Amino acid sequence: ILNVEQSPQSLHVQEGDSTNFTCSFPSSNFYALHWYRWETAKSPEALFVMTLNGDEKKKGRISATLNTKEGYSYLYIKGSQPEDSATYLCALGSTLGRLYFGRGTQLTVWP
């Protein structure tokens, strides 16, 4: 069982603020790192898959970086909007099909 930690557990920001969260994972036997956004009553939405150390991905105002040597990934949101309110999940991929999920960071953006 791989332990994936996310911090903070929850975050409240004002509209327009930029924010970031952390995903920590064991650096040995790394395969892939996934980020998802999960809004209440909806399906988890895939944001990024990263496989290489130093990877950076961007989708609109959201970006992510990966450091496999030290075992962490950061997710950044620039200029948060109320519609960004969701739980952000990271997960380690494996060759055995399963994803190992963290508990998520719950983001609330106040107008």
Partner 1 sequence: EAGVTQSPTHLIKTRGQQATLRCSPISGHTSVYWYQQALGLGLQFLLWYDEGEERNRGNFPPRFSGRQFPNYSSELNVNALELEDSALYLCASSFGSRGGETQYFGPGTRLLVL
Give the binding site for partner 1 (CB under 8 A). 1, 31-32, 34, 36, 41-46, 49, 51, 89, 91, 93-104
Cα distances from 80 to residues 17, 91, 97, in angstroms, run: 5, 23, 33
Nearer to partner 1, 31 or 110 (CB): 31
What one-letter code names the amino acid at 56? Answer: E
Nearer to partner 1, 102 or 109 (CB): 102
- Rounded Cα–Cα distance for residues 89 and 92 (Å): 10
Name the minimum Å distance from CB 35 to partner 1.
Answer: 10
Nearer to partner 1, 71 or 102 (CB): 102
Nearer to partner 1, 3 or 18 (CB): 3
Name the minimum Å distance from CB 103 to partner 1.
Answer: 4
Cα distances from 87 to residues 30, 52, 97, in angstroms, run: 24, 25, 23
Name the minimum Å distance from CB 94 to partner 1.
Answer: 5
- Rounded Cα–Cα distance for residues 47 and 53 (Å): 18
